[in-house]
Amino acid sequence: MSSRITPEQIDRIVGNQHHNPFEVLGSHKFEQDGKVCWVVRAYLPNAEAAWVLLPTERKSYPMQSVHHPHFFEVEIEIPRLANYQLRIKKGGREWVSYDPYGFRSAKLTEFDLHLFAEGNHHRIYEKLGAHPTEIDRVEGVYFAVWAPNARNVSVIGDFNDWDGRQHQMRKGATGIWELFIPELGVGAAYKYEIKNSEGHIYQKSDPYGFQQEVRPKTASIVTDLDGYEWHDHDWMEHRRHTDPLRQPISVYEIHLGSWLHGSSAELPQGANGETLTVVTVSDLKPGARFLTYRELAQKLIPYIKELGFTHIEILPLAEHPFDGSWGYQLTGYYACTSRYGSPQDLMFLIDQCHQNGIGVILDWVPGHFPKDAHGLAFFDGTHLYEYADPRQGEHQEWGTLVFNYGRNEVRNFLVANALFWFDKYHIDGMRVDAVASMLYLDYLRGDRQWIPNQYGGRENLEAVDFLRQTHHVIFGYYPGVLSIAEESTDWPMVSWPNYLGGLGFNLKWNMGWMHDTLDYFSMDPWFRQFHQNNVTFSMWYNHAENYMLALSHDEVVHGKSNMLGKIPGDEWLKFANLRCLYAYMFAHPGKKTLFMSMEFGQWSEWNVWGDLEWDLLQYQPHKNLKQFITDLNYLYRREPALYTQDFDQDGFEWIDCSDNRHSVVSFIRYAHDSEEFIVTVCNFTPQPHSHYRVGVPEMGFYKELLNSDARQYGGSNMGNLGGKWTDEWFFHNHYYSLDLCLPPLGVLILKLDDQKTQAELQ
């Protein structure tokens, strides 16, 4: 028997140095004296004895050690050998299992490999990673990982005592290693043990793994994502046939881990009533724990419905090792974080959002990844996912690595990842973080610390191609979804479609508006007359992009203070200014985003380790502000003029933008395919103005839809007694005008009341 295999071959298996252990291990057919025979070989570290069991016979065949005490072999004369089992004796106990090397079927086809190699396998996550499946009527898990420069790759886990000698994988032509492990199932923890050409060993979590252990553990977990039963068909179908740019989009940005905490004394229950394991937060708040996805569905959704937001935007939910990174340094791009529960629990949260009319946007981070040993960094002993040259492949200020967008397989990893969240989790949009860091080769780099592109420029052309490919794919599969760029420079056509030469996003955060507006409201109101441009300049460039006005988490951390702290004056002035800012924001063209706590006026900066300051809602000014945001949201959603032409020049008209002496601006918003319009007048000083005249396009009664100075919001209750009739007085290039009382730090939103006007005229 030993003549059929050489000691060198056995040594390669024992030394974990064989790129295709199937050539040696498993069953091999041969003929002897005209008869069909089989030789079965197994490498069983530390085993004392082994037998082959055949399913068609009540007989076992003892195996013998060959060249190595733990390398076993037996010859069997039988026409056909399939689904045999091994009986193994080790450490005084015996068990029976199927031989992984007895299953040669591969899940990856030649076409799969071809698409992946050229970067166009849109659903590669259904092939790479760990997938419960059945081969030859035996259930198990199929593993596949891309590690082209590795010398060897093994699957390790509790099932083999984390011993990389036992489940060595087979390398394919494109650098993908694969192995089917029979009888393994959902819930098994695993990693890949990877050896490079020098024999250095790396233990890596699965880049395509769907779940990971709760930090600080880092193993991947075998998961089946197809078992959840969705109930959002109507939502998904409506979204598919809807242009989101014509819809109201008011987003509540949230970090799930610090919105609200639970108590470790109160243990949550799972979908089947079982008690769930809870994850504690930090020593900064003893006894606190994260709410689960299912608990958040119970608490967050009613709150969002009450406030009237159309969407929630969740800071990154892909797995990340450090709570303090807010989720922006990812190690598991295909795994939702286990801090809050299982993938099915997240699906439940999103499903419940959809059933309650709330869209879900996730932050997505394709711009960089951390150096954690179990992650993507130096994955197969080489710079596989990142650029090799640190002048391209490292963000030194962030301590993170940059994806190699020029490598097809890496680009495929990211493009498929974007699609994955829409496919498996039914999200409605993604907000792409730090786009500028991807677009510019010299981003946060000094002289001689970056490499120009092939034309000598600073533009990362490979990243541009990647972003365009991503949008081509996701909008092709899922029309009606959102892709929002956080892009802080003047890169042109960010939110233009690919076919017009754009990057393909359909929205872009308006960082210029945000900075100008916050600078303006941080001034003493007397000085605002000299800076009128801060609140008018945005309309000069508004139609260059599809803008979203965002007051995000970045504006309430790192010493920037929360919103109230940015504004000068006493408490009354602070709240009045904040209402004025929010009303101006919602009347201004563009979709809207507010970060959690801004809706009730938290005083302190956002602290990722603690709750929001919910106790503030016992005080009237904070309750009033929350009610103001609620009314503002519902007004915004109710009036098509405020959202249907955000990005059309026909949707906006200045009445007067030059009254800097009074720090007043006034403008009109027009609805799409309708004669409806909204008049907005903003007084940015504490000085009220009586008999302030503004021109309007039609005669009649203009109802006061919103007055930010109303008593129910904590204001001085100055206003126009619910509305005003026009005078036939030519003003601001209109034949009719309104004589208004402008309240201090107040915003008036008015609309022509057709019924009252017609009744009066008759």
Containing H/E element for 79? none
> Catalytic annotation on 704?
no
**Pairing between strand 359-364 and 311-314?**
parallel
What single string gives the DSSP state of each residue in 587-626?
HSSSEEEEETTTTTT-SSPP-TTS---GGGGGSHHHHHHH
Q: What does DSSP assign to residue 395?
A: E
Q: Judge contact between 343 and 294, C-beta under 8 A.
A: no
Q: Rounded to whole angstroms, how far apart are CA atoms 10 and 516?
A: 71
Q: Judge contact between 460 and 466, C-beta under 8 A.
A: no
Q: Rounded to whole angstroms, how far apart are CA atoms 210 and 202?
A: 20
Alpha carbon separation from 515 to 528, 538, 552, 747 (Å, rounded):
15, 11, 12, 20
Secondary structure class of 520 (helix, strand, coil): helix
Read off the tokens for 483.
């892709």
State the residue for tokens 């790129």. Answer: 19
Residue (of 656, 682, 654, 693) closest to 670 by Cα position: 654
Give the residues across from 436 on adjacent strands. Answer: none
Tell me, what amino acid is at 141?
V
Alpha carbon separation from 154 to 21, 248, 258 (Å, rounded):
11, 51, 38
Q: What does DSSP assign to residue 127?
A: T
Q: What does DSSP assign to residue 317?
A: -
Please return the burial class of 26, using the count of CB atoms within 10 Å of its CB with bins 0-12, 13-18 and 19+.
Answer: buried
Secondary structure class of 669 (helix, strand, coil): strand
Q: Judge contact between 648 and 669, C-beta under 8 A.
A: no
> Catalytic annotation on 646?
no
Q: What does DSSP assign to residue 261?
A: E
Q: Judge contact between 590 and 643, C-beta under 8 A.
A: no
Beta-strand runs (E) in 339-472: 359-364, 394-395, 400-401, 429-432
Q: Judge contact between 41 and 73, C-beta under 8 A.
A: yes
503-506-508-513 Cα dihedral, nearest 10 degrees: 130
**Active-site residue, from 323, 394, 428, 433:** 433
The contacts of residue 319 (CB under 8 Å, 6+ apart) are: 212, 330, 331, 332, 335, 336, 337, 338
Read off the tokens for 562.
């929360």
**Active-site residue, from 486, 516, 599, 639:** 486
Q: Judge contact between 594 and 587, C-beta under 8 A.
A: no
Q: Rounded to whole angstroms, how far apart are CA atoms 469 and 492?
A: 18
Residue (of 636, 57, 672) closest to 310 by Cα position: 636
The contacts of residue 111 (CB under 8 Å, 6+ apart) are: none
Q: Cβ–Cβ contacts within 10 Å for residue 393, how many?
A: 18
Tell me, what amino acid is at 125?
Y
Q: Rounded to whole angstroms, how far apart are CA atoms 377 and 303?
A: 40
Q: Rounded to whole angstroms, how far apart are CA atoms 37 and 517?
A: 82
The contacts of residue 224 (CB under 8 Å, 6+ apart) are: 132, 186
Secondary structure class of 7 (helix, strand, coil): helix
Q: Rounded to whole angstroms, how far apart are CA atoms 599 and 633?
A: 11
The contacts of residue 237 (CB under 8 Å, 6+ apart) are: none
Residue (of 693, 647, 692, 701) closest to 670 by Cα position: 647
Secondary structure class of 42 (helix, strand, coil): strand
Catalytic residues: 433, 486
